[in-house]
Structure 1
Amino acid sequence: MSFPYTGGCQCGQIRYEIRAEPLTLYVCHCQECQKQSSSAFGMSLTVAVNAVVIVQGQPKTWTRKADSGREVKNLFCGECGTRLFHQRTYSPNTINVKPGTLDDTSWLRPVANIWTRSAQPWVNISDQMLNYDGQPEDVHSLWEKWTQQQS
């Protein structure tokens, strides 16, 4: 794939571009991600915050506490409710794009599972990926694995 990567909400009111290569992609099995995705897990594509540009519309925001106890700012379409991004207050230089909102998802290959202790019992956790019971202390291992996978 070549960037900019493009995406948007379900109703088309909000469109965005990612103008730099992502840092990593992981699957989160925490209960909050299960709720927000209405599924067994959520996915997060970590990108430098200045690489994400909203080209149409303006997301609404709300803030919540994550399972880790840290604050997360959620950005979503006020019309259709699609969650597009989340920003962690403890990592102001990055933003997590909800990768299912990308126009082309065929190139996505997660490198890690986090919060596996909350995973649904029927989800198969691959031993080919990095796996964490909870929140990883150091995200650099996820970034390194992503870089290796992209090579």
Structure 2
Amino acid sequence: MQVLDGGCQCGQLRYRVSGRVAALFACHCRDCQRHSASAFGMALWLRDYQLTLLQGRSAQWARHTPGGKVTDCHFCPQCGSRLFHHNRATPQFLSIKPGSLDDTSWLRPAAHIWTDSAQPWLPLPVDVPGLPGNPDDFAALLAAWQAAPDACRG
């Protein structure tokens, strides 16, 4: 069980989450590029998690995916920082936006997805698995995280 603290950019919202880190991956889809306002987004999945808001309240909106699933996206109502996502189809997982963590020094994605949408100027590591789109099954990403060296898993 890992305990992680984080918060939004303006500092009005603080959270603590505990759970088993199940995966950390980078996503290069256009949606992640848009919501991160960068070349890619990252997702840190925690299994069997417990989330506590230490300060402030999150706002949320429901994103309907092209595959027909619904993801609740939580963000700071003051500064708009994305903090975490919860896919209603997988209630045992919470997806944290890992850049919102207080300690990001240990973050090393175990895989990259939607590499077909990756920015052409961004070299992807050759020693990390990559998928051209969304995986049909995330089991391979979970296994890649488990196979990552301990130094990459926090």
- Cα distance change on mapping 1:18 and 1:150 into 2, 3 Å: farther
Distance across 2 between alignment mates of 1:89 and 1:73:
7
Distance across 2 between alignment mates of 1:119 and 1:133:
9
The alignment of Structure 1 onto Structure 2 pairs a total of residues equal to 150
Q: Percent identity?
A: 41
1:32·1:66 contact (CA, 8 Å) conserved in 2? Answer: no
Answer yes or no: is 1:128 the counterpart of 2:127: yes
2:17·2:49 contact (CA, 8 Å) conserved in 1? Answer: no
- Give secondary structure in 2 for the equivalent of 1:23: strand
Give, as a single letter, the amino acid of the residue that structure 2 aligns with 1:52.
L
* CA apart distance, 1:92: 1.7
Instruction: Report the counterpart of residue 33 of structure 2 in structure 1.
Output: 34
Instruction: Report the counterpart of residue 84 of structure 2 in structure 1.
Output: 85
- Cα distance change on mapping 1:66 and 1:143 into 2, 3 Å: same
- CA distances 1:76-111 after superposition (whole Å, capped 9, x unpaired): 000111100111222121111000000010011100
Q: Normalising by the residue count of structure 1, what TM-score does the alignment of the two structures yield? A: 0.90
- Give secondary structure in 2 for the equivalent of 1:33: helix
Q: Normalising by the residue count of structure 2, what TM-score does the alignment of the two structures yield? A: 0.89
Higher normalized strand content (fraction of residues):
2
**Which runs of structure 1 show a deviation greater than 6 angstroms over 4 or more consecutive aligned residues?**
none
